[in-house]
């Protein structure tokens, strides 16, 4: 928009008008910088003076100048001067890295609104799209440059993402995008690069469990192979055989069976990793273990496997010490010191550290890896990388995982992944070495477009903070199912990442469920929880209106119907289960 204006005012205008317009333009940019990271396109040439360039992991060039022009790194060197039309970026003594690459996530893919799905009469034989089997779908259909997640991840230094469609078992094919503001078809760098697979079921239809998903995958895979070979046979000599039936799901999976398209297999736990590896051994596709969270337990086995690995950038939260203290001060608990609990707590602490140390232990074992942002919160990403470094991951390896490893994985190392003359100007600039605890990202370049964070104050959503007192807290609830009264508590807290909701049924207090798809509008709160019964997932949608210290509304589950829910705020929440 701005750049368009600029072009119109070229020439013909008197000097005064030009200056006025230019001042107005600068003001506009100033306002923009205050409000967002919107790019300012005064010029497409930029100059970084006296910066520390990290050309590739493990190297540093201090006191260098960098020229960025027309989307590319035009020049890097000592004593190069700024081109006449270059905008000088206030980056003196800052640190310049190659832009980070998110190896796998749903960045740029908006969450689909949960529409009423068609009623399934026979859950054992659902249509493939209802069953979550849509390998033919390309993320290009759903990627939106306006999605908030793009800006969020860019502000952490990410300039590229391998984004996959959302869905269940086989949601579709992922593509590598520039995290620019361009539409999908312009931002895409590698089209339909990989296929996504996960042990995640579509609600209440076949396959509804991990065993169903694995069986279905085997069958689909075999039929895809059969279709491919039948097609070849038919093409060479169709006489006497029927024309192959091109079922879209089977045909879409064929490149995976031919190892022409890798399978990004979401495998967080060690059990899931082993299941993915077992399927790979059996069927023979190119496996990329994705969003691995508990990989350290099986490092020795992974070393033997020769698979590609993407570690999750999600880390468990450390337990707040205050909660522990409140437990300790409870007289009864302090008397009945429980050996079992003590053992458990020791293991929990140990497990927490193991999570933080995962990347470091992979490095120690000589394994290469990239990072996936599939399940991490945008605001935690840099914090978590720093934590991994604090827990022993070398800065060199961290940078490799964010730049050169993914660039190699996606086959774009000649275009990006390092800071070199002639490569894409995908850069991240921080005030201190980026893995240092107090560093912050000041500028990000995505293919030569600058995103300025130097003015941005640390964000804290003041707006939402205000109305916390009304909604936050523990609420009791009661649902009348017609046959019985279901009661329990709903615990609502505001965290940095937004609201967190935990629903604890009274008759099943040891299995609290965490709410998702949380939305608060005026006084209306909507969210969903998924419970599991005999391996079957049931999703309940809550829709309640809050009036002062009570609420009313309804809870619905597709299979079970609609029920009325009422509740009240618990005045002084206590540990209701500290009974002896």
Binding to another protein, residues 493-532 (CB under 8 A): 507-510, 512
Shortest reach from residue 344's CB to another protein, in Å: 5
357 binds another protein, rule: CB under 8 A:
no
CA neighbours closer than 13 Å in the CB half-sphere of residue 428: 30
Which residues within the stretch 14-43 sit at the binding site for another protein (CB under 8 A)? none
Through-space distance between the first and last CA atoms of the chain, rounded to whole angstroms: 68
> How many residues sit close enough to another protein to count as binding (CB under 8 A)?
73
Strand partners, 72: 69, 424
Q: With CA atoms as reference, report the closest residue to 222 among 259, 250, 184, 192.
A: 250
For residues 363 and 470, give the distance between their C-alpha atoms in angstroms, rounded to a whole number: 47
560 binds another protein, rule: CB under 8 A:
no
Shortest reach from residue 121's CB to another protein, in Å: 8
Residues 212-251: x where in contact with another protein by CB under 8 A, - otherwise, as a string: x-xx--xx--xx--x--xx---------xxx---------
Residue closer to another protein (CB basis): 124 or 561: 124
Which residues within the stretch 372-431 sit at the binding site for another protein (CB under 8 A)? none
Residue closer to another protein (CB basis): 234 or 563: 234
Q: Quick one: which H or E segment has residue 244?
A: none
Residues with Cβ within 8 Å of residue 551, at least 6 apart in sequence:
475, 525, 544, 545, 565, 566, 567, 568
Residue 15, token pair as written in the block: 């000097």
For residues 482 and 475, give the distance between their C-alpha atoms in angstroms, rounded to a whole number: 22
Name the phi and psi angles at 232, rounded to 5: -60, -45
Shortest reach from residue 209's CB to another protein, in Å: 4
Q: Quick one: which H or E segment has residue 327?
A: helix 321-329
Shortest reach from residue 129's CB to another protein, in Å: 16
Residue closer to another protein (CB basis): 227 or 428: 227
210 binds another protein, rule: CB under 8 A:
yes
Residue closer to another protein (CB basis): 227 or 288: 227
Q: With CA atoms as reference, report the closest residue to 409 among 161, 117, 61.
A: 161
Shortest reach from residue 146's CB to another protein, in Å: 33
Shortest reach from residue 286's CB to another protein, in Å: 21
* Binding residue (CB under 8 A) for another protein from 23, 60, 211, 564: 211
Shortest reach from residue 275's CB to another protein, in Å: 7
Residue closer to another protein (CB basis): 78 or 347: 347
Q: Are 470 and 546 in contact (CB under 8 A)?
A: yes
* Binding residue (CB under 8 A) for another protein from 42, 72, 80, 352: 352
**Burial letters 103-113, b for 16+ CB under 10 A, else e:** bbbbbbbeeee
- Residue identified by tokens 């890798």 is 262
Shortest reach from residue 120's CB to another protein, in Å: 9
CA dihedral 279, 284, 286, 287 (to 10 degrees): 20
Residue 398, token pair as written in the block: 């961290």
* Binding residue (CB under 8 A) for another protein from 297, 307, 518, 537: 297
CA neighbours closer than 13 Å in the CB half-sphere of residue 211: 3
For residues 289 and 306, give the distance between their C-alpha atoms in angstroms, rounded to a whole number: 11
Residue 442, token pair as written in the block: 């000041």
For residues 37 and 31, give the distance between their C-alpha atoms in angstroms, rounded to a whole number: 10
Shortest reach from residue 119's CB to another protein, in Å: 12
For residues 213 and 220, give the distance between their C-alpha atoms in angstroms, rounded to a whole number: 10
Shortest reach from residue 529's CB to another protein, in Å: 16
* Binding residue (CB under 8 A) for another protein from 208, 261, 416, 449: 208
Task: Please identify, among the stretches 2-10, 20-28, 80-88, 273-281, the one whose residues bind another protein according to the rule CB under 8 A.
Answer: 273-281
Residues 308-337: x where in contact with another protein by CB under 8 A, - otherwise, as a string: --------xx-x-----------xx--xxx
Rg (CA), the chain: 27
Q: Quick one: which H or E segment has residue 46?
A: strand 45-53
* Binding residue (CB under 8 A) for another protein from 235, 469, 547, 580: 580
* Binding residue (CB under 8 A) for another protein from 144, 350, 390, 574: 350
Shortest reach from residue 568's CB to another protein, in Å: 24
CA dihedral 220, 225, 229, 230 (to 10 degrees): -10
Residue closer to another protein (CB basis): 301 or 568: 301
For residues 537 and 531, give the distance between their C-alpha atoms in angstroms, rounded to a whole number: 6
Residues 74-113: x where in contact with another protein by CB under 8 A, - otherwise, as a string: ----------------------------------------
Q: Quick one: which H or E segment has residue 8?
A: helix 2-8
Shortest reach from residue 379's CB to another protein, in Å: 18
Task: Please identify, among the stretches 94-102, 107-115, 436-444, 572-580, the one whose residues bind another protein according to the rule CB under 8 A.
Answer: 572-580
* Binding residue (CB under 8 A) for another protein from 6, 87, 191, 275: 275
* Binding residue (CB under 8 A) for another protein from 2, 32, 200, 209: 209
Shortest reach from residue 331's CB to another protein, in Å: 7
Q: With CA atoms as reference, report the closest residue to 205 among 446, 560, 536.
A: 536
Residue closer to another protein (CB basis): 1 or 339: 339
| Helices then strands, each counted (H, E), the chain | 16, 25
Residue closer to another protein (CB basis): 60 or 245: 245
């Amino acid at each position: 928009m701005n750049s368009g204006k600029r072009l119109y005012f070229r020439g013909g205008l008197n000097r005064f008008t030009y200056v006025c317009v230019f001042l107005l333009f600068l003001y506009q940019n100033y306002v923009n910088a205050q409000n967002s990271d919107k790019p300012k396109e005064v010029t497409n040439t930029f100059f970084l003076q006296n910066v520390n360039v990290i050309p590739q992991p493990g190297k540093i060039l201090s006191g260098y100048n960098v020229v960025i022009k027309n989307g590319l790194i035009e020049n890097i060197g000592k004593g190069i001067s700024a081109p006449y039309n270059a905008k000088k970026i206030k980056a003196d003594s800052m640190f310049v890295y190659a832009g980070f690459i998110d190896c796998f996530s749903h960045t740029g893919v908006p969450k689909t609104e949960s529409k009423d799905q068609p009623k399934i009469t026979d859950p054992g034989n659902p249509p493939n799209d209802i069953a979550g089997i849509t390998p033919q779908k390309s993320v290009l259909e759903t990627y939106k440059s306006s999605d908030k997640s793009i800006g969020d991840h860019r502000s952490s230094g990410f300039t590229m993402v391998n984004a996959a469609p959302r869905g269940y078992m086989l949601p579709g094919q992922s593509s590598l995008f520039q995290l620019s503001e361009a539409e999908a078809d312009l931002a895409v760098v590698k089209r339909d690069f990989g296929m996504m697979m996960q042990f995640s079921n579509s609600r209440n239809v076949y396959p509804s469990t991990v065993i169903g998903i694995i069986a279905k995958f085997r069958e689909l895979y075999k039929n895809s192979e059969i279709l491919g070979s039948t097609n070849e046979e038919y093409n060479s000599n169709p006489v006497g055989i029927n024309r192959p039936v091109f079922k879209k799901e089977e045909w879409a999976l064929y490149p995976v069976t031919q190892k022409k398209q890798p399978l990004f297999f979401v495998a967080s736990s060690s059990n899931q990793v082993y299941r993915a590896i077992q399927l790979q051994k059996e069927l023979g596709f190119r496996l990329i273990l994705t969003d691995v969270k508990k990989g350290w337990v099986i490092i020795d086995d992974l070393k033997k496997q020769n698979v590609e690995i993407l570690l999750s950038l999600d880390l468990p939260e450390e337990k707040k010490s205050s909660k522990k203290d409140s437990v300790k001060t409870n007289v009864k608990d302090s008397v009945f010191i429980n050996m079992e609990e003590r053992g458990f707590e020791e293991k929990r602490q140990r497990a927490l550290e193991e999570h933080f140390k995962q990347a470091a232990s992979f490095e120690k074992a000589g394994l290469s890896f990239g990072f996936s942002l599939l399940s991490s919160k945008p605001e935690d990403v840099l914090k978590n990388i720093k934590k991994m470094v604090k827990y022993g991951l070398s800065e060199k390896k961290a940078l490799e995982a964010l730049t050169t490893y993914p660039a190699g994985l996606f086959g774009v190392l000649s275009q990006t992944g390092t800071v070199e003359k002639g490569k894409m100007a995908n850069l991240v600039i921080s005030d201190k070495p980026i893995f240092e605890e107090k560093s912050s990202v000041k500028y990000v370049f995505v293919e030569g477009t600058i995103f300025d964070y130097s003015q941005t104050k640390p964000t804290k959503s003041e707006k939402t903070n205000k109305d916390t007192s009304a909604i936050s807290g523990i609420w009791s609830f009661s649902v009348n199912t017609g046959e019985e009264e279901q009661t329990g508590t709903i615990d609502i807290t505001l965290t940095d990442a937004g609201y967190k909701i935990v629903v604890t049924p009274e008759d099943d207090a040891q299995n609290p469920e965490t709410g998702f798809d949380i939305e608060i509008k005026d006084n209306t709160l909507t969210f969903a929880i998924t419970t599991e019964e005999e391996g079957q997932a049931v999703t309940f949608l809550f829709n309640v209106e809050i009036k002062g210290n009570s609420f009313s509304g309804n809870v619905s589950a597709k299979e079970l119907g609609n029920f009325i829910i009422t509740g009240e705020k618990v005045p002084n929440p206590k540990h209701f289960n500290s009974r002896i």
